[in-house]
């Protein structure tokens, strides 16, 4: 451990090397240490213990079937009111058409998350999933955040567990991790007061896990939250993941920190904030997550929000998954994301190879579909 410059990291490093769990205070210290190189190496140790040189990506398509939303989260620049010129709202048949417009052979994951539309009847949702499964049986549908599931349960006047069961029967494969924001109630009240509560978000994921569905978890950081609140968020997820692993044999696939995009939303305006998160804040956050969330298979570096260059660097900071090709994305781009709308499969492979890692194409269930070689001397 002579590579650690911060002596206070020594007991923490000893635990990481022994595969032991960190306490809350130890996790918090990872946010405070100035030995960033030491932090990076600890996160990489943990990542390599789980996955060796492998880095996963997916050939994917994103679709937001409506941006109409009545919730009013202050960080959101995506939502529109009904009747606004920039509002869109696809019928189930139009959703199938839109998928057709964006379709490329080889895409396996269809990731959908959208606004809380005030008027669609409950039947709209299972009909959409069934229509997609019939038209594109090769697509695995990862859709509906826990916030949307809560919204559907109100519309359907059914418990969230029944909503999940019926969507699963219609063909829903997995749930994305959106809508988590920050669980700490102080922050949630300020940024997402009309949306699913923290305990509800967690219990809906627990219900999905009980049905054998795998889900993801996100954390929206870089606005008004403290470092304790970031770690508290991860701590609640670690506890739920323990429970799901014990009771259902599986739970979350990936944790995805979402860097706050500061354009076109009232939260940024009220804070007078125009800066994006800094690169080292993004990297530190990923590293802390990799070390603290010892029961999560993957930490995802989300190139849409932190850019593809930093995502490539993040492969040394604990990241083992870089999401996918995406095709078209509107939530982050509405809020000022400067990344491209899509990346090619070749681009993702090259990004991983040039970090001297092994690219692995996965599907929405994290089945390994194909491995690509490590970079050779001759590769560009």
Residue 178 in contact with ligand V47, rule: CB under 6 A: yes
What is the enclosing helix (H) or strand (E) of 371?
strand 368-371
Tokens of 268: 């940024």
Name the residue nearer to ligand V47 (CB basis): 13 or 147: 147
Which is closer to ligand V47, CB of 163 or CB of 305? 305
What residues between 130 and 159 interact with ligand V47 by CB under 6 A? 145
Q: DSSP class of residue 380? A: -
Spatial neighbors of 36 by CB under 8 A, at least 6 apart, are 280, 283, 284
State the chain's maximal CA–CA distance in angstroms.
Answer: 63
Query: Do the annotations mark residue 144 as ligand-binding?
Result: no
At residue 30, the 3 state secondary structure works out as: helix
Tokens 């019939």 identify what position?
A: 134
Q: Is 18 exposed, middle or buried (0-12, 13-18, 19+ CB in 10 A)?
A: exposed
* 359 binds ligand V47, rule: CB under 6 A: no
Neighbours of 210 (CB within 10 A): 15
Q: Name which of 186, 190, 280, 279 is nearest 233 in CA terms.
A: 186
Would you say 127 is a known binding-site residue? no
CB 140 within 8 A of CB 195: no
Which residues between 216 and 245 bind ligand V47 (CB under 6 A)?
216, 218, 220
In the complex, least distance from residue 153 CB atom to ligand V47, rounded to whole angstroms: 18
Identify the residue whose tokens are 């190879």: 353
Distances (CA, A) of 217 to 103, 137, 197, 333, 370: 26, 26, 15, 20, 25
Among 56, 296, 302, 303, binds ligand V47 (CB under 6 A): 302
**Cβ distance to ligand V47 smaller for residue 29 or 78:** 78
Residue 176 Cβ, how far from ligand V47 at the closest point, in Å? 3
- Interaction mask 13-52, ligand V47, x per CB under 6 A: ----------------------------------------
Tell whether residue 75 is among the known ligand binding residues. Answer: yes
Stretch that binds ligand V47, among 157-165, 170-178, 284-292, 357-365 (CB under 6 A): 170-178
The DSSP element (H or E) to which 370 belongs, if any, is strand 368-371
Which of the stretches 244-252, 260-268, 347-355, 370-378 binds ligand V47 when contact is defined by CB under 6 A? 260-268
User: At its nearest, how many Å lie between ligand V47 and the CB of residue 378?
Assistant: 34
Instruction: Find the distance separating the first CA and the last CA of the chain, reported in whole Å.
Output: 35
In what side-by-side order are the strands of the sheet with 368-371?
321-324, 54-58, 358-362, 368-371
| Contacts (CB under 6 A) with ligand V47, residues 61-100 | 75-77
x/- track of binding to ligand V47 for residues 105-134 (CB under 6 A): --------x---------------------
Which of 22, 99 has the CB closer to ligand V47?
99
Nearest approach, Cβ of residue 4 and ligand V47 (Å): 33
* Calpha distance 78→80 (Å, rounded): 7
Task: State the binding string over 322-341 for ligand V47 (x if CB under 6 A, else -).
Answer: -x-------xx--x------
# of chain residues touching ligand V47 (CB under 6 A): 24
Angle at 246 between CA 48 and CA 214, to 5 degrees: 65
List the one residue from 67, 140, 160, 261 that touches ligand V47 (CB under 6 A).
261
Binding site for ligand V47 (CB under 6 A): 75-77, 113, 145, 176-179, 181, 216, 218, 220, 256, 258, 260-261, 265, 302, 305, 323, 331-332, 335
Residues flagged as binding site for S-adenosyl-L-methionine: 75, 181
């Amino acid at each position: 451990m002579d590579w650690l410059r911060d002596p206070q990291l020594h007991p923490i490093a000893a635990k990481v090397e022994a595969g032991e769990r960190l306490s809350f205070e130890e996790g918090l210290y990872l946010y405070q240490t100035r030995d960033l190189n030491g932090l990076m190496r600890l996160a990489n140790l943990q990542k390599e213990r789980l996955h060796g040189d492998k880095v996963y990506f997916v050939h994917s398509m994103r679709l937001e079937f409506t941006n109409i939303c009545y919730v009013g989260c202050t960080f959101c620049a995506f939502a529109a009111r009904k009747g606004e010129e920039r509002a869109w709202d696809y019928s189930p048949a139009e959703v199938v058409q839109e998928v057709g417009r964006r379709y490329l052979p080889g895409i396996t994951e269809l990731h959908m998350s959208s606004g809380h539309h005030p008027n669609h009847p409950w039947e709209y949702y299972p009909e959409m999933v069934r229509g997609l499964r019939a038209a594109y049986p090769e697509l695995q549908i990862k859709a509906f955040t826990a916030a949307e599931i809560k919204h559907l349960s109100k519309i359907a006047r059914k418990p969230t567990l029944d909503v999940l069961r019926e969507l699963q029967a219609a063909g829903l494969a997995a749930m994305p991790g959106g809508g988590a924001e920050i669980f700490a109630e102080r922050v949630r009240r300020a940024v997402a007061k009309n949306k699913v509560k923290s305990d509800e978000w967690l219990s809906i994921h627990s219900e999905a896990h009980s049905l054998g569905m795998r889900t993801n978890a996100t954390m929206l950081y870089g606005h008004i939250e403290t470092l304790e609140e970031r770690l508290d968020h991860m701590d609640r997820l670690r506890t739920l993941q323990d429970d799901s692993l014990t009771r259902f044999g599986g739970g979350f696939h990936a944790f995805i920190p979402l860097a706050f995009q500061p354009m076109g939303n009232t939260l940024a305006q009220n804070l007078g904030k125009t800066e994006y998160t800094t690169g080292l804040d993004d990297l530190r956050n990923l590293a802390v997550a990799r070390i603290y969330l010892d029961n999560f298979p993957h930490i995802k570096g989300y190139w849409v929000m932190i850019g593809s260059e930093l995502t490539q660097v993040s492969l040394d900071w604990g990241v083992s998954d870089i999401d996918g090709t995406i095709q078209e994305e509107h939530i982050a781009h509405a809020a000022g994301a400067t990344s491209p709308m899509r990346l090619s499969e070749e681009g993702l492979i090259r990004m991983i190879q040039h970090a001297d890692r092994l690219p692995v194409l996965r599907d929405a269930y994290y089945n390994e579909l194909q491995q690509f070689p490590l970079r050779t001397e001759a590769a560009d």
